[in-house]
Amino acid sequence: MRARIRTARKALALAAVASLGTGLLAGCADDGGDDSSGSSSGGKGKTTITLGLFGTMGFKEAGLYAEYEKLNPKIKIAENVVERNENYYPALLNHLTTNSGLQDVQAVEVGNIAEIVNTQAAKLEDLSKVSGVNKADWLDWKWQQATTKDGQTIGLGTDIGPMAICYRKDLFEKAGLPSDRAEVGKLWAGDWNKFVDVGERYKKNGPEGTTFMDSPGGLINAILSSEKEKFYDASGKVIYKTNPAVKNAFDLTAEAAEKGLVGAQTQFQPAWDQTIANNKFAAMACPPWMLGYIKGKSQPDAKGKWDVAVAPKSGNWGGSFLSVPKNGKNVEEAKKLVAWLTAPEQQAKLFKVQGSFPSAQAAFDSAEVTGAKNDMTGDAPIGEIFAEAAKQIPVQVIGPKDQIIQQGLTDNGVILVTKGKSAKEAWETATKTIDNNLDQ
Amino acid sequence: MTTRHDTAAPPVKEGGAAPGRPPADAVSEQEVKRRAKLSRRWQRDVRWSPYAFVSPFFLLFVAFGLFPLIYTGWASLHQVELTAPTDMNWVGLRNYTRIFDDEFFWNAAKNTLTIGIISTVPQLLMAMGIAHILNYKLRASTFYRVAMLAPYATSIAAASLVFVLLFGRDYGMINWALDVVGIDPVDWQGDKWPSQIAVSTIIIWRWTGYNALIYLAAMQAIPQDLYESAALDGASRWQQFLHVTLPSLRPTILFTAVVSTIGASQVFGEPLLFDANKGASGGAEHQFQTLGLYLYEQGWVNQHLGRASAIAWTMFLILIVIGIVNYVISRRLRASS
């Protein structure tokens, strides 16, 4: 009798151990297949399409999901948002390389699109042949960025960030500079050197305690974005150290920093936000989405004091793509959704609500874009200005490690000049850091 | 051999070695076999069951501790990128040999050491002082103890965010206070020593209370009569502290020193969040990049998993060396007492 009880107890213990163990191992196992099936059937015969996004892309806020669900009663849309791309992107890479945990649609930031195109294209659907997708709708460079060498387009562009110069009319006037946007644009038309010259003029008469531009990072980013080639050449070779365009951008920014024309700040840090709130600078390179950022950080009395002028040369800053992993559960439905979400009409709606500028040139003539106004810039026809800038953006060669290189030039480079280092020392620190970071 | 009390003791039903039991030959052969079988089973039970009972921990350890450790070692011998983790390129010990002339690694190692010292030493001294004060009879002592532990319960992210604002160069409260006293503003993020002090401050703020509570618990275990007799001998409070409290706390102090050393060698969250938006480079000139941060930068920002794995193993080896040194010192101390 006792023996039986003991064996029973032992069996129970063993069973518990075994189930714990297997549960544990199952937890580590590939869960790609059955995991997504749970979320893909939304009950009552509906198909749920999931989107993996980062930041605030605004599809939901602009009511686009609700609209699509109304048009397609059998579809339900769910999104899964990670706040910061630097947390979102490594996870996306992990999911792609292990073929598990993927959503039906995955967003890709422009800074990562070259790496995705180069290394993960085989895992993503070619979206160029989906019905309703018309290559001519997009700006050519945007389309090319997500297209592989053998002609597969693995991401459809959502928004872009055509850059103009946002400036404070009141501060420009105090410094004795013109404040009309056409005249301001003429001051530096076509040449970033002229832009820095204007900065010197500003410094002479501008209000005490303010700088011409917000930060060295903002300036070098604007210059580099307007070049055809920056860190990679067309064959994919890293050329940042020998490309004169990069060195010129670096030296010009270092010069501006040495002369005290830029604030000693790093963009998007709390202290930089505070310089916006305290009106500490007169101009910054800004894509449309930056106006929303400025608004969020400004005091109410700064409304209407900003204006937007054409940049010396146009460049792009930011923007995203939507991709469909081959491993997804609802590949066909997901493709249809992506085609619809990135169509010109939807991009125009998104711009109106979210300020993300359309990458579809077909949307540039829509009422949403031509009639666009912003609280910070008063009556300025920002839609037209940014649309004009978007058309001037060069087809730039982008590479997989653009972000690492630019971060090195900015955060381990030009910022040092604001702390009293020479341009040469800053360049050395930057290149040493970048080379170490690129070395596999 | 251990004595098997369970099998040797007289079982209730089957009789056993107790007096009055029937002669042995009365037991049928079947019964003998049955008993032998049972006894074998019990033996096995006693021998193997403990292993089954402790196995959940070890299964977990194998899955989440040992396997990653070994796999990291394997990966460290390869060139592997995050974009294709299964595509491994054998490079032998190159990832280790390059560490010897990787100035960023040694810079990070130095920073880890200095931040470790700047944060651990004041932290433990202050914890000792606070514990000593809390050991007196105080009103609302529970309140103070809970308050001590509050920073420990705060998330690093939230704490670091607040400290970044406090340590701001242009608009920070600390520079404002310094300005009132007439000291020039300090660039707490950009300059080497100020940034290391600032990062250490976050660590000190977070862990002092925790260590104080450990000291307090140990102090309360010291018998009261020791203090009484010391007082009778005319020892002052300070002398009591030096000659009664400190010697009794020796093992506890060793424990906190070991734990703090391990913690200091792994510092990561504070320096990462102290200059967010700059990736994991730990400042413009890597002035507060710790080893943990460098490892993270190589692995998750630069996507070089092979290099990151080699750094992880090197850190592991350094920790083992520190552990051995700790052990030797603590044995010396124990022998001398």
Asked if residue B328 and residue B265 are part of one domain, the reply reads yes
Q: What's the pLDDT score for residue B237?
A: 87
Name the superfamily (CATH) of residues A36-160+319-368: Periplasmic binding protein-like II (3.40.190.10)
Q: Give the CA radius of gyration of chain A.
A: 25
Asked if residue B148 and residue B13 are part of one domain, the reply reads no
Residues of A in contact with B86 (CB under 8 A): 97
Asked if residue B331 and residue B210 are part of one domain, the reply reads yes
Residues of B in contact with A440 (CB under 8 A): 79, 81, 304, 306-307
The answer as to whether B326 is a domain residue is yes
- Residue A40's contacts (CB-CB under 8 Å, 6 or more residues apart) are A47, A48, A49, A50, A104, A329, A330
DSSP state, residue A306: E
Alpha carbon distance A263, A211 (integer Å): 6
Determine the 3-state secondary structure of A105 from DSSP.
Answer: strand
Asked if residue B112 and residue B224 are part of one domain, the reply reads yes
Determine the 3-state secondary structure of B119 from DSSP.
Answer: helix
The answer as to whether B87 is a domain residue is no
Q: What's the pLDDT score for residue A138?
A: 94
Looking at chain A, which residue has its C-alpha nearest residue B169? A271
Q: Does B187 touch chain A (CB under 8 A)?
A: yes
Q: What's the pLDDT score for residue A6?
A: 56
H-helix segments, A308-422 = 331-341, 344-354, 367-370, 382-392, 402-409, 415-417
The answer as to whether B173 is a domain residue is yes
Asked if residue B267 and residue B173 are part of one domain, the reply reads yes
Looking at chain A, which residue has its C-alpha nearest residue B281? A412
The answer as to whether B84 is a domain residue is no
Residues of B in contact with A399 (CB under 8 A): none
Strand pairing report for A47-54 and A75-82: parallel
Interface mutation vs chain B, best among A238, A428, A437, A438, most B CBs within 10 Å? A437
Interval B82-93 mean pLDDT: 91
Whether A20 and B303 lie within 8 Å, measured CB to CB:
no
Asked if residue B186 and residue B133 are part of one domain, the reply reads yes
Q: What's the pLDDT score for residue B262?
A: 87
Counting beta carbons within 10 angstroms of the beta carbon of residue A19, is it exposed (0 to 12), middle (13 to 18) or buried (19 or more)?
exposed
Asked if residue B102 and residue B52 are part of one domain, the reply reads no
Q: What's the pLDDT score for residue A16?
A: 58
Shortest CA distance to A438 belongs to which of A247, A254, A239? A239
ipTM of the complex: 0.83
Asked if residue B192 and residue B106 are part of one domain, the reply reads yes
Alpha carbon distance A403, A94 (integer Å): 19
Interval B82-96 mean pLDDT: 91
Whether A437 and B297 lie within 8 Å, measured CB to CB:
yes
Q: How far apart are the first and last CA of chain A?
A: 67
Interval B14-31 mean pLDDT: 62
Tokens 């020593």 belong to which residue? B193
3-state helix vs strand vs coil in chain B, percent to 5: 70, 0, 25
Name the superfamily (CATH) of residues A162-317+390-438: Periplasmic binding protein-like II (3.40.190.10)
Q: What is the pLDDT of residues A51-86, one digit of tens each?
A: 999 988 889 989 999 999 999 999 999 999 998 888
Give the pLDDT band of residue B253 (cuts 50, 70, 90). Answer: very high
Asked if residue B145 and residue B25 are part of one domain, the reply reads no
Whether B83 and A1 lie within 8 Å, measured CB to CB:
no
Residue B83 has its nearest CB partner, among A3, A24, A93, at: A93
Q: Is the pLDDT of residue B15 over 50?
A: no
Q: What's the pLDDT score for residue B80?
A: 93
Q: What's the pLDDT score for residue A178?
A: 95
Q: What's the pLDDT score for residue A35?
A: 39
Shortest CA distance to A216 belongs to which of A279, A154, A281, A291? A281
Whether B169 and A404 lie within 8 Å, measured CB to CB:
no
Q: Give the closest-approach CA distance of A225 to chain B in angstroms.
A: 19
Q: What's the pLDDT score for residue B323?
A: 85
Residues of B in contact with A419 (CB under 8 A): 187, 190, 284
Count of other CB atoms within 10 angstroms of residue B45: 17
Asked if residue B165 and residue B312 are part of one domain, the reply reads yes
- Residue B146's H or E segment, with its range, is helix B141-153
Asked if residue B147 and residue B295 are part of one domain, the reply reads yes
Q: Is the alpha carbon torsion for B308, B314, B315, B317 positive or negative?
A: positive
Asked if residue B226 and residue B121 are part of one domain, the reply reads yes
Q: What's the pLDDT score for residue B23?
A: 55
Residues of B in contact with A24 (CB under 8 A): 59-60, 63
Q: Is the pLDDT of residue B97 over 90?
A: yes
Q: Which domain holds residue B32?
A: 5-75
In chain A (440 residues long), the average pLDDT of successive 10-residue segments reads 55 58 48 41 75 91 94 94 90 93 95 94 94 92 93 94 95 94 93 96 94 96 95 93 96 96 92 93 94 91 93 94 94 95 93 90 90 89 93 92 94 94 96 94
The answer as to whether B90 is a domain residue is no
Interval B88-108 mean pLDDT: 94
Determine the 3-state secondary structure of A284 from DSSP.
Answer: strand
Interval B29-33 mean pLDDT: 89
Q: Does A26 touch chain B (CB under 8 A)?
A: no
Interval B165-183 mean pLDDT: 92
- Residue B70's contacts (CB-CB under 8 Å, 6 or more residues apart) are none
Instruction: Give the phi and the psi of residue B21 in degrees, each rounded to 5.
Output: -80, 150
What residues does CATH 3.40.190.10 cover in chain A? Answer: 36-160+319-368, 162-317+390-438
Q: What's the pLDDT score for residue A347?
A: 94
pTM summary value: 0.84
Whether A270 and B165 lie within 8 Å, measured CB to CB:
yes
Degrees to nearest 5, angle at CA A69 with A67 and A71:
70
Q: Is the pLDDT of residue B144 over 80?
A: yes
Q: What is the pLDDT of residues B295-318, one digit of tens each?
A: 999 999 999 999 999 999 999 999
Interval B48-52 mean pLDDT: 91
Domain count, chain B: 2
Q: Is the alpha carbon torsion for A214, A219, A221, A222 positive or negative?
A: positive
Shortest CA distance to A416 belongs to which of B163, B166, B298, B287? B287
Q: Is the pLDDT of residue B67 over 50?
A: yes
